[in-house]
């Protein structure tokens, strides 16, 4: 049994560090995109259209991962696309976490009518298909980076609310909460200083998973031209363009798809690794 637990712990640690390493690399690339990108991601050169990657014949060493149908550098567009993907993931994830976790804490700890109102509202909200709901929101409020963030927050706050509500109800039944109540402390103070620290590991895990979902939502909306301007480099728009020229220039589709896959997988595995790390049995 001890060996099995040790094996699980080592696997969780490896998963955690690999995913964290990729995300850290992605953050560095996004922050220093103007210095790292070899070309201007918006610069078009039709004479250099659909240049293959550097290892294939006919490649240009100035375009390491090739060019798209308009002669734009694929590597530079992936690098600048990381800025948009991580920006949406960070802002939308934090706002979703803040709103959903606060409502979940109030519903789970205060019970009574706050729980009834919030829970019914969550049930109604989750009845809408999330992807269709996001497309409808973008169609109503217009395209743009802020619109994508609003769509992610409006759709996904319910996930935090439901999970944190259950955790808050469980923690609210503990003896330490009863002791704090007997001492005369206010309920809101108990919720913030006693309940919140004990549900924080769950919130952190949910936040990492939500960031991966936000990256997917942004890519889907970019894929259907409901994100920012079609000229701006986003992974979803690159995948949409590459799909049309897969037989002539496979690299336009494959490289942004790999970047998207690794990023979403890293967020997911980071969440799983943090969950295992915070698990008291494994510790």
> Contact, 93 vs 210, CB < 8 A?
yes
> Contact, 74 vs 98, CB < 8 A?
no
**Which pairs with CB-CB distance under 8 Å and at least 24 residues apart come from 133-142?**
134/217, 134/220, 134/221, 135/221, 135/224, 135/226, 138/221, 138/226, 139/226
Q: Is 61 exposed, middle or buried (0-12, 13-18, 19+ CB in 10 A)?
A: exposed
Please state which of the ranges 82-96, 176-190, 247-261 shows the lowest mean pLDDT. Answer: 176-190
* CA dist list (Å): 155 to 92, 97, 100, 126: 11, 12, 11, 8
pLDDT tens-digit profile of 106-136?
Answer: 988 888 888 899 888 888 888 877 777 777 7
> In the structure, what pLDDT confidence band is assigned to residue 211 with cuts at 50, 70 and 90?
very high
Closest CA to 268 of 221, 197, 183, 211: 211
pLDDT at residue 111, as a whole number = 82
Is a pLDDT exceeding 80 seen at residue 14?
no
> Contact, 4 vs 281, CB < 8 A?
no
What does pLDDT average to over the chain?
A: 84
Is a pLDDT exceeding 60 seen at residue 93?
yes
Averaged pLDDT, 209-213 = 90
Averaged pLDDT, 57-80 = 88
> Contact, 112 vs 105, CB < 8 A?
no
Averaged pLDDT, 29-52 = 88
Is a pLDDT exceeding 90 seen at residue 27?
yes
Residue scoring higher pLDDT (137 or 77) = 77
pLDDT at residue 78, as a whole number = 94
* Distance, CA of 13 to CA of 10 (rounded, Å): 5
Please report which residue ranges of the chain form alpha helices under DSSP H. Answer: 2-31, 33-36, 74-110, 112-125, 130-141, 145-172, 175-182, 187-190, 196-223, 235-244, 251-278
Q: Report which DSSP code applies to 162.
A: H
* Distance, CA of 265 to CA of 22 (rounded, Å): 10
Is a pLDDT exceeding 90 seen at residue 47?
no
Residue scoring higher pLDDT (246 or 22) = 22
pLDDT at residue 182, as a whole number = 82
Scan for tokens 């969950």, then name that residue: 275
Averaged pLDDT, 209-230 = 82
């Amino acid at each position: 049994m001890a060996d099995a637990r040790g094996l699980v712990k080592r696997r969780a640690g490896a998963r955690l560090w690999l995913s964290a390493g990729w995300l850290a690399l992605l953050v560095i690339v996004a922050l220093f995109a103007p210095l790292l990108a070899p070309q201007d991601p918006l610069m078009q050169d039709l004479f250099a259209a659909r240049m293959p990657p550097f290892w294939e014949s006919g490649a240009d060493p100035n375009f390491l991962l090739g060019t798209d149908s308009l002669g734009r550098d694929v590597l530079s567009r992936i690098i600048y696309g990381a800025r948009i993907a991580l920006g949406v993931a960070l802002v939308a994830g934090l706002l979703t976490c803040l709103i959903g976790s606060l409502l979940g804490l109030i519903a789970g700890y205060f019970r009574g009518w706050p729980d009834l109102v919030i829970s019914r509202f969550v049930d109604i909200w989750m009845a809408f298909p999330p992807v269709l709901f996001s497309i409808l929101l973008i169609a109503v409020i217009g395209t743009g980076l802020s619109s994508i963030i609003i769509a992610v927050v409006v759709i996904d706050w319910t996930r935090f609310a439901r999970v944190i509500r259950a955790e808050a109800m469980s923690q609210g039944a503990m003896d330490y909460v009863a002791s704090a109540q007997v001492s005369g402390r206010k309920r809101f103070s108990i919720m913030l200083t006693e309940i919140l620290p004990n549900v924080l590991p769950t919130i952190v895990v949910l936040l990492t998973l939500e960031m991966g979902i936000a990256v997917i939502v942004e890519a889907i909306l970019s894929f259907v031209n409901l994100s920012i301007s079609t000229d701006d480099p986003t992974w979803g728009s690159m995948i949409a363009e590459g799909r049309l020229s897969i037989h002539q220039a496979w690299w336009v589709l494959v490289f942004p798809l790999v970047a998207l896959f690794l990023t979403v997988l890293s967020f997911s595995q980071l969440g799983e690794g943090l969950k295992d790390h915070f698990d008291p049995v494994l510790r």
